[in-house]
Amino acid sequence: MNDATANHDATTRSGVLYATHDGVALTGELYLPQGRAPAPVLIAVHGGGWQLGSPDVYRHWGPWLAANGFALFAIRYRLSKPGAKSYPGAVYDVKAAVQFVRANAGQLGVDPERIALIGDSAGAHLSALVALAADKFTAEHRDDAHAATAAGVKAVVGFYGVYDLLAQWQHDQLARPRDQITEKLLGASPTLSRGLFLDASPVNHVTAETPDKPRFLLIYGTDDEVVDPQTQSQTFLAALKQAGYFARTLIVPGAGHFWAADPIDEPGSYSAVAAPRIVRFLRETF
């Protein structure tokens, strides 16, 4: 049995500081497989409508992926609050996490050439946007310690992601009219700033001209009423394939939203269904 398939013990480092943005200390939880250094690493970005959530979403995935030979760094990022939008700040936070991991790979015990992103819902949006358009977010935080470090990643694993913010806004007019999460993220309505919605949508940064295209695994359930699979994951998948990206889907029958945090070892859980496919995708990628 080689390193890629061995059952590794996991070690955890809590509160790892990766950046300080606008006076906010940004930290993450690092899960490492013992006996596999340098390990490929996933940076995990939690969901919560860009308003809520924490790295706790990945408390099961961290040890499980480490047991399968992959490190995971589950991060905190700045969230939208009343009167304070989180865009583009949250994008810069995720980008900074990639740069931190690459710049400090030796100390962390990970491989700087084998970095991926994993996210759920809003976290999948941020992961995809950084993977596709990190070089477009350069105006802020130029004094970061690792601002000059490359932010490219090999792959993105997205659970029921939001990849088209305008389509999500339209969906929310019926699904959640009292909680316009995209407007809270961007600080505006598309009726006032349509271009902002387009620029902040990963689907609009898919281009055949992109070198070193990251690979994508898009995971979603058939019964998701919060993020519509047809206008989000399915439309994003089509755009990726048309532009020559390697992109695959995992469609989970009966699954809705909010299940990425479920225990992986729980029989019948949707996470248990997804886990083997994720590992296979990562082994093929790395």
- What are the sequence ranges of the domains in the chain? 10-285
189, burial (CB in 10 Å: exposed 0-12, middle 13-18, buried 19+): middle
Instruction: Say whether pLDDT at 193 is over 50.
Output: yes
Mean pLDDT, range 249-272, rounded to an integer: 96
pLDDT for position 178: 85
Name which of 155, 108, 127, 131 is nearest 46 in CA terms: 127
- Report d(CA 269, CA 266) in Å as an integer: 6
Instruction: Say whether pLDDT at 29 is over 90.
Output: yes
pLDDT for position 6: 62
Instruction: Say whether pLDDT at 7 is over 90.
Output: no
Helix (H, G, I), strand (E, B), or coil: what is residue 279? Answer: helix
pLDDT for position 2: 41
Phi, psi of 51 (to 5 degrees): -120, -30
CATH annotation of 10-285:
3.40.50.1820
Helix (H, G, I), strand (E, B), or coil: what is residue 273? Answer: helix
Give the range among 9-13, 154-158, 220-224 with minimum mean pLDDT: 9-13
Helix (H) or strand (E) holding 182: helix 181-186
Cα-to-chain-centroid distance, residue 286: 17
Helix (H) or strand (E) holding 126: helix 122-133
| pLDDT tens-digit map of 53-100 | 999 999 999 999 999 999 999 999 999 998 889 999 999 999 999 999
pLDDT for position 252: 97
What are the structure tokens assigned to 103, written together?
């710049």
**8 Å CB contact between 232 and 163:** yes
| pLDDT tens-digit map of 132-184 | 999 999 999 999 999 999 999 999 999 999 999 999 999 999 888 888 999 99
Instruction: Say whether pLDDT at 253 is over 60.
Output: yes
66, burial (CB in 10 Å: exposed 0-12, middle 13-18, buried 19+): buried
Q: What is the DSSP string of 84-116?
A: B--TTHHHHHHHHHHHHHHHTHHHHTEEEEEEE
For tokens 């310690």, the residue is 145
| pLDDT tens-digit map of 89-132 | 999 999 999 999 999 999 999 999 999 999 999 999 999 999 99
- Report d(CA 61, CA 64) in Å as an integer: 5
Question: What is the residue-averaged pLDDT of the chain?
Answer: 95
Place 5 in a pLDDT band, splitting at 50, 70 and 90. Answer: low
- Report d(CA 4, CA 54) in Å as an integer: 29
Q: Model's pTM, two decimal places?
A: 0.96
